[in-house]
Structures are given as structure tokens and as C-alpha cells.
Amino acid sequence: MLTETPNWDALKAACLSCTRCALSETRTQVVFGVGDPQSEVLFIGEGPGQEEDLRGEPFVGRAGQLLDVMLASVGIKREAIYIANIVKCRPPGNRDPLNIEQDACIGWLREQTKLMRPKIIVCLGRVAAMKIIRPDFKITSEHGQWVEKGGFWMTALYHPAFLLRDPRHKPDTFADMKALENKMREVCARTLPD
């Protein structure tokens, strides 16, 4: 890890050559993140899947297509936000990243966050919420709730991959997206839906 926060390009270059955990041995490529690094809104998933590993971009498979629909439902363009993950390399078989892998990789996300200085952090799914918001976070009962922590407004949504498996939770997620839109209007100066 770099000892002091560099610029965005230097951080990305360093991350792309990371070998801090065993995931580096099985990845196709590092998935650093995508979007506007000056955005006031940062979405955080757990880790790349197969499509993401192949393309080097987060949320590009079926779950990513659903995320795009979720964003569009409240007029948010993908290019207007930034999307990253807890771990930057794909866990084999798309399993949840192990704690040791999360701990080895979280520094990259912290540096991204430090450089971005977003006003809002949206965790996508249980794993991200437990790492970012609180270790005992319960996604089923706490999704859509807002917490102010470390100078950031944070919330968690159901992960789009979960919604593909269980579409019954889509109405809850739509309500959570409307709450996100309202929070953006309240605290963001630039990253507002049209």
C-alpha cells in the first residue's frame, strides 16, 4: 500500500499490480472501479464476478444491468457516480471474499475514498455493509436506513445479484433508491439527477 495518498492515477497504477492476497494469483485482472472519481456518491460492492474479472470493470454482468435500471429509476447516470468493491480481484467461484482478503484489500478502497471525498456511500449488499457500516449489519432489516459515520452519509441496498435471485425485494429497493435520490438532493451539490 502507498504510504500517503497519491493522485488517482498513481493509486490505480499501484493497485493494478497488487499481490497482497491470494486472489491476485487467480484473477484475470484487477477491477479498480469505474465512474467519476470526483463524484459525491460512491457505490461499494463486495467483489468482482466472472464478467467483471474479464472486463476489468465492476457491475457489468446481469447484476450490473439491474444496477443500471435501479440508478435510472431515479434519474442517476452511471457516469455520474463512482462504483468500486471491497476487494479488487474476483474470489473463485464468486464466493464471498474472506475476511483476510477484505483486510488485505480495504486499504485501496480507503485511499479511493480519501481522494474522492464523497458525501454519500451506498453499500451494495450484506458483505459491503458489514465491512463499511457495521460488522453486525442486518441487510434485511436495515436496508435503506441512513447512518452518518466519519463525515459520510451511508446506507445499504440489497445487492443486485440478490434481487435477481429473489425479485420480491425489488419494491423495497425502489423505495430505497427514492430515499437515495432525496438524500442526494439534500447533501450533494454536483451529483444530482437531472
Cα–Cα separations (whole angstroms), residue 156 to 65, 124, 143, 144: 18, 6, 5, 6
The matching CATH number, chosen from 3.40.470.10, 3.30.70.520, 3.40.605.10, 3.40.980.10, for 8-187 is 3.40.470.10
**pLDDT attached to residue 193:** 52
Interval 2-44: pLDDT, tens: 556 579 999 999 999 999 999 999 999 999 999 999 999 999 9
Interval 144-189: pLDDT, tens: 999 999 999 999 999 999 999 999 999 999 999 999 999 999 999 8
- What nine digits make up the cell of 91? 474470489
Residue with cell 456518491: 41
Dist CA 157 CA 125 (whole Å):
6
Dist CA 63 CA 121 (whole Å):
19
Sequence-distant (≥ 6) Cβ neighbours of residue 40 within 8 angstroms: 118, 119, 120, 184, 187, 188, 189, 190, 191
Interval 57-102: pLDDT, tens: 999 999 999 999 999 999 999 999 999 999 999 999 989 999 999 9
**pLDDT attached to residue 189:** 85
Dist CA 27 CA 48 (whole Å):
10
Average pLDDT over residues 43-53: 96
